Amino acid sequence: MGFIAWLIIGGLAGWIAGNIMRGGGFGILGNIGVGIVGAVVGGFLFSLLGLTSGGFIGSLVTATVGAVVLLWVISKVKKA
């Protein structure tokens, strides 16, 4: 997958996750960062569950799920 596609998926996934978890995004660079790290987390979680996804939509779903999990974990760590 091309570098531009990674940035687009990361930005979209971060923005979606930010809206799900907090009601807002984190700016373009923050969204991209959260989305890319979320893609790694989501890919790991999906592989543990035996799930696979392909294409743009599958990558976006995986990254968004991972980003939501990442933001949830961060919110729990901040509270502790």
For the chain, the structural domain boundaries read 3-79
Distance of alpha carbon 33 from alpha carbon 47, whole angstroms: 21
Please give the Cα distance from 27 to 78 (Å, whole number): 20
Q: Is the pTM of this model over 0.75?
A: yes
What is each CA distance from 79 to 23, 68, 70, 75, 76, in whole angstroms? 18, 17, 14, 6, 5
At residue 69, what is the residue type? Answer: V
- Measured in whole angstroms, the distance separating CA 76 from the mean position of its chain's CA atoms is 17
pLDDT tens per residue across span 14-58: 999 988 887 666 778 888 888 999 999 999 999 999 998 889 999
**pLDDT at residue 62 tops 70:** yes
